[in-house]
Amino acid sequence: MPISFLSRLQALASAAPSPADSALRTRATGLVESLRRELPEALAVAAIDLEQAQPLATYSVGKGALPAKAAAHLVEVVRLKRRALEVLQLPTEKIEDILITLREQLHLLRVSQDGRLLLYLVVSPYDTNLAIARALLQAHGS
């Protein structure tokens, strides 16, 4: 006796990604690889789908930085900041980047120009120049 709901659920789970999703994933992978090449001292790099709050490409040097696990929380940070801009009645303002400063790490978030990707970069304040890291994120977020 087939259960239609279960059949539909299985079909959704096994559905092939759309060409647009594949293109976004390919773009995300390229961005992460480029950032790794240009900033080899990076502790973690990720490109996250802002709509789905899912990581599309990630890189991490160790157990301390797991961008895939933090993806949904990072997207929520951006959503909350956007809401704050609305509350502050700054409708023409746009988030350039968000910097979270920890004692041993700097976490940078940047929304891509088209608004589809969130670029996430973790660096050590001892090994990386913040201005260079921000400039690289800006260049790749265009």
> Structural domain tally of the chain?
1
Phi, psi of 96 (to 5 degrees): -85, -60
Q: Is residue 86 part of a domain?
A: yes
The pLDDT, as a whole number, for residue 62 is 76
Q: Is residue 12 part of a domain?
A: no
Kindly state the percentage of the chain with pLDDT values over 90.
Answer: 66
Query: Has residue 39 got a pLDDT over 70?
Result: yes
Which of 49, 40, 47 is closest to 123 using CA atoms?
Answer: 40
Confidence of residue 65 (pLDDT cuts 50, 70, 90): low
Q: Is residue 32 part of a domain?
A: no
Q: Is residue 111 part of a domain?
A: yes
Q: List the CATH number of the domain containing 53.
A: 3.30.450.30
The pLDDT, as a whole number, for residue 18 is 58
Query: Has residue 15 got a pLDDT over 70?
Result: no
Q: Is residue 10 part of a domain?
A: no
Q: Is residue 77 part of a domain?
A: yes
**What gap in Å lies between CA 105 and CA 61, rounded to an integer?**
13
Q: Is residue 116 part of a domain?
A: yes
Question: What is the crossing angle of helices 130-140 and 19-38, to 10°?
Answer: 150
Query: Has residue 117 got a pLDDT over 90?
Result: yes
The pLDDT, as a whole number, for residue 66 is 77
Q: What is the mean pLDDT of the chain?
A: 86
Show the domain range for 59: 41-140
Q: Tell me, what DSSP letter sits at residue 15? A: P
Higher pLDDT, 106 or 14: 106
